[in-house]
């Protein structure tokens, strides 16, 4: 496929305590680069699509190293703009068994948080593009980032691109005087594909699954309970052609179940449930699902079931990889889809 997908958002420096050390134990941190939309772009490029990432960065060596990390995986960045003083940072402490992981953000006054409308030529960027993707993280950063996100969505719609969103609610980011419930509805209303997890729809839009109690799941989530969530989201946002929910059952920090559902306005499709008994790194799992979903919807435009199952399998494999990026191949995903989850050495 020669499809071009544009992703817009913040990319950060990730500083992770090694292994399962706590912050108080660590005397060094492992540096990688990541961000919701950048993670999606890496997945798409890794699957062979033409993926471009757009952001605003400081003009310094750290930002250049950040872009090099994307170029390594064939993500294009010709329209990145420069300005501001710093790259956002987040610190990660990996959880284990009954101890949850922790994330501490240090992204106040990052370059993209000070972005303004008119800085990016979206008409130029979207020329020849097929798809635009953003997440709920971007409008949470600042009013300026929210305004530029709205600007991009408007131009994308005018130019006939498919627009997708991962709701990705991060309560600790909404600090500039507005809530997600105030900002997100207007933006999501213009989207063709909406992705969320079992909590996003309730937190942002007050939409709850019928006859479902998360405290009673024991780590296993009944997928059909979320058909009502999909229907309600589509009622709220009639522009949407697909509503997708990822379903994570958290048995503990090291052991999750993983599945998803897709509703196309006519039928609900349910993915197989994967039992992930040893998680290497769960951060970026939802982004890997989104990237693989976009690939699947483009590869099999008439087969929503296949697209959903590809996304679920790809994101299952992401949990076995360190860092935020999903570096699996199409062949590896398809092997898992067809039942080869043995993990035997390939010789």
**What confidence score (pLDDT) does residue 210 get?**
74
d(CA 31, CA 9): 20
**What confidence score (pLDDT) does residue 209 get?**
82
Out of 3.30.300.90, 3.40.1190.20, 3.30.470.10, 3.30.470.20, which CATH number does the structure's domain 4-19+28-329 have? 3.40.1190.20
Give the SS3 label for residue 71: helix
**What confidence score (pLDDT) does residue 346 get?**
60
CA 171 to chain centre: 16
Helix, strand, coil % (nearest 5) of the chain?
A: 35, 20, 40
Q: pLDDT tens string for the chain (347 positions)?
A: 679 999 999 999 999 999 999 999 999 999 999 999 999 999 999 999 999 999 999 999 999 999 999 999 999 999 999 999 999 999 999 999 999 999 999 999 999 999 999 999 999 999 999 999 999 999 999 999 999 999 999 999 999 999 999 999 998 899 999 999 999 999 999 999 999 987 899 999 999 887 666 545 556 677 778 899 999 999 999 999 999 999 999 999 999 999 999 999 999 999 999 999 999 999 999 999 999 999 999 999 999 999 999 999 999 999 999 999 999 999 999 999 998 776 665 65
d(CA 115, CA 82): 10
Q: Which two tokens stand for residue 101?
A: 């992981």
- Residue 165 near residue 191 (C-beta atoms within 8 A): yes
**What confidence score (pLDDT) does residue 218 get?**
58
d(CA 188, CA 199): 16
For 148, the enclosing helix (H) or strand (E) is helix 143-158
d(CA 347, CA 344): 9
Phi and psi at 327, nearest 5°, equal -110, 25
**What confidence score (pLDDT) does residue 307 get?**
98
Cβ within 8 Å of residue 313, ≥6 positions away = 274, 292, 333, 334, 336, 337
**What confidence score (pLDDT) does residue 311 get?**
98
**What confidence score (pLDDT) does residue 72 get?**
97
**What confidence score (pLDDT) does residue 224 get?**
77
pTM of the model: 0.95
**What confidence score (pLDDT) does residue 2 get?**
76
**What confidence score (pLDDT) does residue 343 get?**
63
For 180, the enclosing helix (H) or strand (E) is helix 180-188
Give the SS3 label for residue 261: strand
């Amino acid at each position: 496929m020669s499809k071009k997908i544009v992703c817009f958002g913040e990319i950060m420096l990730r500083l992770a305590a090694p292994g399962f050390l706590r912050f108080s134990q660590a005397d060094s941190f492992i540096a990688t680069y990541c961000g919701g939309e950048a993670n999606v772009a890496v997945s798409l490029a890794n699957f062979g699509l033409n993926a471009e990432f757009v952001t605003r960065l400081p003009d310094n060596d750290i930002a250049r190293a950040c872009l090099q990390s994307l170029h390594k995986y064939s993500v294009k960045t010709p329209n990145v703009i420069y300005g501001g003083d710093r790259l956002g940072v987040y610190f990660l402490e990996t959880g284990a068994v009954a101890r949850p992981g922790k994330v501490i953000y240090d992204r106040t006054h990052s370059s993209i948080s000070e972005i303004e409308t008119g800085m990016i030529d979206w008409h130029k960027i979207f020329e020849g593009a097929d798809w635009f993707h953003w997440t709920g993280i971007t409008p949470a950063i600042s009013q300026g980032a929210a305004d530029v996100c709205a600007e991009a969505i408007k131009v994308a719609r005018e130019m006939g691109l498919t627009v997708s969103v991962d709701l990705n609610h991060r309560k600790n980011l909404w600090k500039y005087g507005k809530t997600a419930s105030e900002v997100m509805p207007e933006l999501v209303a213009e989207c063709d594909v909406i992705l969320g997890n079992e909590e996003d729809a309730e937190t942002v839009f007050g939409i709850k699954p019928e006859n479902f109690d998360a405290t009673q799941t024991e780590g296993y989530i009944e997928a059909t309970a979320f058909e009502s969530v999909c229907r309600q989201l589509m009622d709220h946002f009639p522009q949407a052609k697909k509503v997708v929910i990822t379903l994570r059952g958290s048995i503990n920090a090291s052991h999750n179940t993983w599945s998803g559902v897709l509703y196309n306005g006519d039928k609900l499709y349910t993915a197989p449930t994967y039992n992930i008994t040893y998680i290497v790194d769960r951060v970026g799992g939802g982004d890997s699902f989104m990237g693989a979903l976009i690939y699947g919807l483009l590869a099999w435009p008439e087969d929503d079931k296949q697209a959903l199952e590809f996304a679920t399998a790809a994101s299952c494999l992401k949990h076995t990889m360190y860092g935020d990026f999903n570096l699996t191949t199409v062949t590896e995903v398809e092997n898992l889809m067809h039942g080869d989850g043995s993990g035997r050495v390939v010789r």
